[in-house]
Amino acid sequence: MRPRDRVIDVIEHRRPDRVPLYGWVRANLEAPIRQAFGSVEAFEDHYEFDYAHLFGGPNPYDGERLAGLRRAAGGPLRPDHLLDLPPGDPDDLAAYQAIIDGVQHHKRERDRFVYVQTPGIFECLNGVFGIEEHLGYLLLYERELHEIYRRQAAWNQAFAHHCLDLGVDMVHVSDDWGGQQGLLFSPALWRRLIYPYHQSTCRSVKDRGAYLSFHSDGNIRAVLDGVVDLGFDVVHPFQESAGMDLAEYRRKYWGTFVVMGGLDVQTTIGFGRLEVLQQEIARVLRQFADGGLLFCTSHFVQDHCTLDELVLAFDTAYRLSREGAR
C-alpha cells in the first residue's frame, strides 16, 4: 500500500495494512541526525515515514510593525491597540516556496500524505500579546477580541486555501488551549469567543473536500465534543501525560476523529529509560493495530534525547508496526 493511501485509510476509519509512522525530529536533533544519516530527509526515508508536516508561508503580523506599535504603546499591546494594525497579506505567494518544495519532496516524489501548519486563533496571538496578558484580555476585552479573532480567521482561511491549491492534503490548525490539568480558560468562554472563529475556518476547508487536523498541548478533554462539532478529522497529540486517556478515546470518540500521537516527548522519549520506551511504543501500537492512530511524537523530540535513543524508538516502531505490534 502507498504511504498516502495508508494515512487516508486511517483518517477515513478503515483498517490500514499497518499503523502509519512519522515523528517531529528536525527542530532539535537535525545536527546529530545529519551526522549519522546524512540528512533528516535520509532519516525519514530510512524509516519509510508515511506522512510529513510542512511549515512555511507568510506571517499573520509583521514583526517590525508590531515592535513599532509596542514602542508607541509604551509596553505590551492590548487588543484595542491591535485594531489599528490589520493582519498582513496572506496572498504573498512568494512566501509559500517552502510549502511548494515540501509538497514536491514528500508528496510528488515519495507519495507521502502532507499536512501544513496553520495558525489557530488563541495561540498565534500569544506572540502578539504574551500568553499571560492574552489570558487576561479574554475577560477584559471580549468585544475587541471578537473583531481581532474575526480578522485572524479570515487570514487563516486565505492561507489554508493557498496551501490546498498547492497540493496539501490536510490543514493542521495549531492552537494550544490546555494546561497539564485542564483548559487554560473556561469551556463557556471557549465556546463563546474561540469556537466561532475556528468554525468558519473549518467549514471553509471542509467545503474544499480537504482533511482537518488540530493540535493542542495539554488536557482539552472539556472541549473534545466541541472539537468533534468543528469537524476535525485528526487530533494531535491527545497527550496522555496531561491526563488524556487513549483508552477513553477508543470508548468515546472512536469513529469520530483519529489520534496523531502515541510517543510522548514529556515522559517517554529522551529520558534514557530504554525498556520503558520500547514498552510504551508496543502498548500504543498494539492498542491501535486495527486503526485509529497516526503514530507520531507528541511534539518536537527534545535535545536531551540521544541519537541512540531516537534510533531505538523508531527501530522499535518500524518493526512493531510491520509485525502488527504482536
Cell of 316: 522499535
In the chain, the number of structural domains is 1
CATH number at residue 170: 3.20.20.210
How far CA 235 is from CA of 156, 214, 220, 254, 257, in Å, comes to 18, 5, 11, 12, 7
The pLDDT value given to residue 215: 98
Give the mean pLDDT of the chain: 96
Query: For residue range 213-269, what is the model confidence (pLDDT) as tens digits?
Result: 999 999 999 999 999 999 999 999 999 999 999 999 999 999 999 999 999 999 999
The counts of H helices and E strands in the chain are 15, 7
Q: Alpha-carbon Rg of the chain, whole angstroms?
A: 20
Helix (H, G, I), strand (E, B) or coil at 119: strand
Residue 118 and residue 160 in contact, taking contact as beta carbons nearer than 8 Å: yes
Give the number of C-alpha atoms closer than 13 A to the C-alpha of residue 81, restricted to the C-beta side: 17
Percent of the chain with pLDDT over 90: 98
Q: Sign of dihedral through CA atoms 246, 247, 249, 254?
A: positive
**Mean pLDDT value of segment 272-287:** 97
| C-alpha span between 113 and 51 (Å, rounded) | 4
Q: Which amino acid is at 276?
A: V
| C-alpha span between 269 and 147 (Å, rounded) | 41
Band of the pLDDT at 324, cuts 50, 70, 90? confident
Residue 325 has pLDDT above 70, yes or no: no
Percent of the chain with pLDDT over 70: 99
Residue 146 has pLDDT above 50, yes or no: yes
**Spatial CB neighbours of 129, under 8 Å, sequence gap ≥ 6:** 76, 77, 78, 79, 82, 137
Give the number of C-alpha atoms closer than 13 A to the C-alpha of residue 51, restricted to the C-beta side: 30
Residue 144 and residue 80 in contact, taking contact as beta carbons nearer than 8 Å: yes
Question: pTM for this one?
Answer: 0.96
Band of the pLDDT at 86, cuts 50, 70, 90? confident
Residue 316 and residue 41 in contact, taking contact as beta carbons nearer than 8 Å: no
Residue 326 has pLDDT above 50, yes or no: no
Domain enclosing residue 272, as ranges: 3-323
Closest C-alpha to 185, from 144, 127, 104, 126: 126
**Mean pLDDT value of segment 106-112:** 98
The pLDDT value given to residue 31: 98
